[in-house]
Amino acid sequence: MNDLPLADLDAFTAVARERSFRAAAKKRGVSASSLSEALRRLEAKLDVRLLNRTTRSVTPTEAGMRLLERLQPALGEIAGALDQVNELRDSPAGTLKLNVPSVVAREILPSIVGRFLRANPAISLEVTAEDGFVDVLAAGFDAGIRYEERVERDMIAIPIGPRQQRYVTAASPAYLARHGMPHHPHDLLEHACIRHRFASGVGLAWEFGDGEAAITITPPAVVTANAVDLEITAAIEGLGVIRTFEEFLAPHLASGGLVAILEPWVTTFSGPFLYYASRRHMPAPLRAFVDFLKAEQRSRLP
């Protein structure tokens, strides 16, 4: 037993947890065949079958389940011990894996990651942009970035990026010349609108204003998409009214390609948060990122 490779045990844990060679390989950034070979070696060493494999499923055997239950905390302790050693390096090393909304990947992270990586040259960054809710730990990420209402309560959250953002409504001058200027959110029920639909298939209603004065409508859509660039282009070309993050529309508002409308009904909300699990041993790349964000926040204080 002393010559069991730790990497093979780790490969087994990944596949057993995901119930899929392909999913485990994708998260590990390796080939499915390399994980399959690791499992073959491990089962040969132990002389016991750990996984039942069919063309449709991968499930742990009873022996596999028992091994998985004991291995997961043990491998977690090993990872924590290595991270503690990593923290003693002059420059922390490793990969930081983040799951973020598309607006954060597009408008907020680009101004941050360059400074962070220059300050931590031994760290690499992997960013996955998706707008649905994700269990970041179960999905293999070190941390996530989400807006306040979507941060899980048992997570630690720290601010990242602007502390206030706005949802604005706009249309092209040509569209407004043809269809007139809306003066109240309810007027949009008589207009063509361009709506966003998340990859999950959910399309949110449009909410205007804040608090007790908030108005929610579901306007008719001439274009529905989950591609922001397509939605913005449709609005510039005069196909309808768009409502989205101000950052997405700012250059087109400045150039005159779009005109802000319903400005008394702009919705203001708090900016995003980096969130991560409370645990005794934080991975060194994540610790470096958290420390970096906190130092930047302190530098902006008056």
3-class DSSP assignment, residue 135: coil
pLDDT class for 171, splitting at 50, 70, 90? very high
pLDDT class for 131, splitting at 50, 70, 90? confident
pLDDT class for 149, splitting at 50, 70, 90? low
Averaged pLDDT for residues 74-79: 72
Query: What is the pLDDT of the chain when averaged over all its residues?
Result: 87
The whole-number pLDDT of residue 212 equals 67
**What's the rounded Cα separation, in Å, for the pair 24 and 152?**
24
**What's the rounded Cα separation, in Å, for the pair 82 and 76?**
10
pLDDT class for 1, splitting at 50, 70, 90? very low
Structure tokens at 114: 């360059």
Cβ neighbours, 10 Å, residue 164: 8
Q: Which amino acid is at 75?
A: L
> Cα separations (Å) of 298 from 159, 240, 294?
12, 43, 6
Averaged pLDDT for residues 95-122: 93
Cβ neighbours, 10 Å, residue 256: 9
115: buried, middle or exposed (CB in 10 Å: 19+, 13-18, 0-12)? exposed
Cβ neighbours, 10 Å, residue 147: 15
The whole-number pLDDT of residue 132 equals 77
Assess whether pLDDT exceeds 50 at residue 174.
Answer: yes
Radius of gyration, alpha carbons of the chain: 24
Q: What is the pLDDT of residues 238-266, one digit of tens each?
A: 999 999 999 999 999 999 999 999 999 99
Best-predicted range by mean pLDDT among 16-25, 84-93, 96-105?
96-105
Spatial CB neighbours of 284, under 8 Å, sequence gap ≥ 6: 83, 86, 87, 89, 92, 93, 94
The whole-number pLDDT of residue 92 equals 82
Assess whether pLDDT exceeds 70 at residue 158.
Answer: yes
Contact 39, 15 (CB under 8 A): yes
Contact 47, 7 (CB under 8 A): no
pLDDT class for 75, splitting at 50, 70, 90? confident
Structure tokens at 231: 């939605």
DSSP assignment of 11-69: HHHHHHHHT-HHHHHHHHTS-HHHHHHHHHHHHHHHTS--EEE-SS-EEE-HHHHHHHH
Assess whether pLDDT exceeds 90 at residue 210.
Answer: no
The whole-number pLDDT of residue 81 equals 67
3-state secondary structure 210-276: CHHHCEEECCCEEEEECCHHHHHHHHHCCCCEEEEEHHHHHHHHHHCCCEEECHHHCEEEECCEEEE
Which of 52-61, 92-101, 118-127, 165-174 is predicted with the least confidence, judged by mean pLDDT?
A: 52-61
169, β-bridge pairs = 243, 261
The whole-number pLDDT of residue 29 equals 73
Averaged pLDDT for residues 1-13: 74
Assessment of whether the complete model's pTM goes beyond 0.85 = no
